[in-house]
Amino acid sequence: MPAEGVEAGLLLSHIAVIGEAIVGSVVLRVDYERWGQGPEDLHDLAVTAPHARSRERFLALYEMAIMGSRATRVADRIGRHPPSVMHWVQRYNAGGPEAVSYRRTGGRPPLRRDRDRSR
C-alpha cells in the first residue's frame, strides 16, 4: 500500500533518488580512530602544518570531530564550498592525514624571494 498524507511528504522531502543511489540526510564523520588519532592530534596537525591550506583543512576536521559540526556549517564559517569540506573528510577517512595535507601539483612555479636571487 503506497504511503499517503504527511508521512509521504516527509519521506519525499528527506530522501532524494539520484540514479540508482538513494541519498538521505547523511552526516559525514571524521574517522580519526581509524588512523590511531584523536581530536587532539588533528589540532596538533593544524598548528604544526607547514602550509596554510593544510592548517585550514586540519582545523576544519578538528572542529567537526570535537564539536560535532556538520561539513556544511564548517564550510559556511570558513568561506569554503560545502563539497570542498566534504571532500577533505572523505580524503582523510580514506587515506589519513597525508591525504589531506596540501601538495603543490603543478602550475607556474612560485616567485623566488629576494635572498634567492643573489645566488
| pLDDT digit string, tens, across residues 45-100 | 999 999 999 999 999 999 999 998 899 999 999 999 999 999 999 999 999 999 99
The per-residue pLDDT for 110 is 74
Residue appearing with cell numbers 607547514: 50
The SS3 call for residue 18 is: strand
**Integer Cα distance of 18 and 63 in angstroms:** 30
The per-residue pLDDT for 15 is 42
**Integer Cα distance of 66 and 38 in angstroms:** 9
pTM over 0.75: no
Kindly indicate the confidence band of residue 30, based on its pLDDT and cuts at 50, 70 and 90: very high
Which residues fall within 8 angstroms of residue 88, CB to CB, at 6 or more apart?
Answer: 57, 60, 61, 100
The per-residue pLDDT for 20 is 43
